Chains A and B, each alone.
Chain A
């Protein structure tokens, strides 16, 4: 796919997005040290996508409840730990709450809760619901004459949930063109490699067959990723929903996590966390 040059971010933007993706990874390590267990690698595969959306592509406001804001839903809610620092950075959430992540009474848990955490557009945790929530938001926007875009990040393991395909059918049938699904195709689910446990291929062809416009992109290339997201968001002529299959690496940025599926859930002792931090700081993605 050839992108017009004007969708490509400039060097300054790219540097900022890389910095924010690094910030997401470092904060994730810090917060999980407090919880003593968490989903590092699920955040690391999505860090560039989070950065591109929240620091460039999405239409946002200082008011996290602004009705015309773009929405971002997390089908893979277990990566919420990577989003909370962004919400604090945006000024929606008291940064001091991060220091008490998951402790008794904290609004911040392993999964996002819209009733407790400003910035969360919809709660999640039960895999498979989020695309349907996004279908409802897209309907709501259209009925109210609002032009916001609803982005829904889905895990690749989530493709195994039947409800995803109910929502995909519904969105295409009703021409919900302001709905964008992003599949974080990092290749691993809890029990192991996705295509070993329950194959989901041919993934892009499945979405095409369901009537969606489909794009594939390197989910760790901030330039290509941001350009694609900008273009998809700007396209007002599209008459169908859009799915982006983002090819990513689970655990991206910390080398041993990229090759070891067991890191879906885990804990880094302080000295290992320090080494992981160093690798994240010293490696350019």
Chain B
């Protein structure tokens, strides 16, 4: 197998059905999900709240048993302890043993991996430095803010120098500075050769960081692939054009080309559906001796795709209902 395309996580038709309430009503949290994560990439696992992201991650970590399908880490079925030894995991909004100090906390997790003595102490120092928590190393976790807890949580996930790091909503609840720090940390992890999978409902972060993403809604995979491809293929690139002194005839000529035109005194704003209409629109401006004020392509984002997909899922649900 080519080392570049080695699959670290393989998920095949994975489903989880929960029984809820007194009558055991069946709720499908994850529905026939298939995806794979390659060595060395940053993989974004996106979806709105309640889409099944955490449930999927819990199945990968052996906290929940799948109802159907299979999931493998490093080629081993999930739950395999040798595979777990190569994974670091940060749960969503983590709660930790708050009677411990950062140092005791990390030492405890180190022991669970069989790390001991001066090697472990050195590793703890490095990690506290990495997440910027050296000042709070002897403070009990009960006195920590949410951002501080998230940081020691990340340190905890890295104690075993894992090959694969799985972070569940690592940016949620953090302020902009905290979020940027987590983003930088994820990039650093990738640079040091680690594979990172993280879930998020904040698409901007994913767009900045991820090589590939998977988007799930209501437990189903709705999009998956390279971020650039998804944006290009999944969304249209609109162009916003602002013009001054365009004659009424010119405005009439421009209307069929534009998706939308807005008049503001002498000024006209037109939204063109794609780059293809731009040349024709410029012809009209020249013919009418109008003045071009600005021409701005609207960069499509994952968010557009996300909203489109969300609407799609909603329609499908309505049709079936």
A associates with B: no
On A, residues with C-beta under 8 Å from B are none
